């Protein structure tokens, strides 16, 4: 009986040990700030966005100018002239919306450019995270900047610096 109890307790302790998992986390924002390619890609995306937004604003101002001129001249126009000017304004508004969607929409040029610039960086980070996890025998690594909420994180489990080192960069100094 004693032998069965000892065996059962040993088996129970082994099963608890088998389910013990090691957790760590990274700070993706911290890591991204250390990657010069990411910093330069964000500057490039900001410049493109500003350029295209300026174009959208210019088009909107032109439409406003056309509409105000139409309102001022409306009294003197024939029905056919009114219809033609209204059509011009409507066409310009549609073109401006289409331009804005083409540049800033979910499948727009800005989103595509962002994907083409950032995806290779994300892939490099994912490989580095995997290498850190495998080298240090971590079962799970969280990103504290993702949807998952962490109420507490012991700093000793932060593996962000290890990921930066694995990427061949120096932690502690933010890229400029």
Query: DSSP per residue over 83-105, as a string?
Result: HHHHHHHHHHHHHHHHHHHHHHS
Is-contact 103 110, C-beta < 8 A?
A: yes
Average pLDDT over all residues of the chain:
85
Residue 163: CB atoms within 10 Å: 28
Mean pLDDT highest for which of 59-68, 143-152, 156-165? 59-68
> Within a domain: residue 11?
no
Q: Would residue 128 count as lying in a domain?
A: yes
Which tokens in the block code for residue 48? 């493109």
Does the pLDDT value for residue 173 go beyond 70? no
Separation between Cα atoms, residue 109 and residue 55, nearest integer Å: 14
Q: What is the mean pLDDT of residues 156-171?
A: 88
With respect to residue 69, please indicate whether it lies within any of the assigned structural domains.
Answer: yes
Tens of pLDDT, residue by residue over 12-53, are 434 444 556 788 889 999 999 999 999 999 999 999 999 999
Name which of 108, 101, 100 is nearest 55 in CA terms. Answer: 100
Which residues have a Cβ under 8 Å from the Cβ of 109 and sit 6 or more positions away?
48, 52, 102, 103
133 located within any domain: yes
3-state SS class at 108: coil
pLDDT tens, residue by residue, 56-100: 999 999 999 999 999 999 989 999 999 999 999 999 999 999 999
Q: What percent of the chain has pLDDT over 70?
A: 83
- In the chain, the percentage of residues whose pLDDT exceeds 90 is 57
Residue 154: inside a domain: yes
Q: Quote the CA–CA distance of 137 and 22 in Å, as a whole number.
A: 8
> How many domains would you assign to the chain?
1
Q: Give the separation between CA 96 and CA 60, rounded to whole angstroms.
A: 7
The answer to the question of residue 67 being in a domain is yes
**Residue 137, helix vs strand vs coil:** coil
0.85 surpassed by pTM: no
End-to-end CA distance of the chain: 70
Quote the pLDDT of residue 79: 93
CB distance 33 to 174 below 8 Å: yes
Asked if residue 15 is part of any domain, the answer here is no
pLDDT band of residue 150 (cuts 50, 70, 90) is: low
Find the domain containing 64 and state its range: 22-166
Task: Give the residue among 38, 28, 18 at the shortest CA–CA distance from 142.
Answer: 28
In a domain, residue 102? The reply is yes
């Amino acid at each position: 009986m004693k032998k069965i109890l000892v065996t059962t307790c040993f088996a129970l302790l082994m099963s608890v040990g088998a389910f013990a998992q090691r957790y760590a986390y990274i700070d993706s924002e911290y890591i991204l700030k250390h990657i010069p390619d990411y910093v330069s890609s964000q500057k490039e995306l900001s410049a493109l966005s500003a350029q295209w937004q300026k174009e959208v604003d210019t088009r909107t101002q032109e439409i406003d100018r056309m509409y105000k001129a139409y309102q001022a001249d409306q009294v003197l126009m024939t029905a056919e002239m009114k219809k033609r000017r209204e059509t011009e304004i409507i066409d310009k508004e549609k073109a401006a919306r289409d331009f804005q969607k083409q540049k800033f929409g979910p499948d727009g040029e800005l989103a595509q450019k962002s994907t083409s610039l950032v995806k290779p960086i994300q892939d490099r980070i994912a490989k580095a995270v995997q290498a850190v996890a495998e080298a240090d025998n971590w079962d799970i690594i969280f990103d504290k900047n993702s949807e998952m909420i962490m109420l507490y994180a012991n700093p000793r489990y932060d593996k962000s610096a290890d990921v930066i080192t694995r990427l061949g960069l120096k932690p502690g100094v933010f890229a400029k």
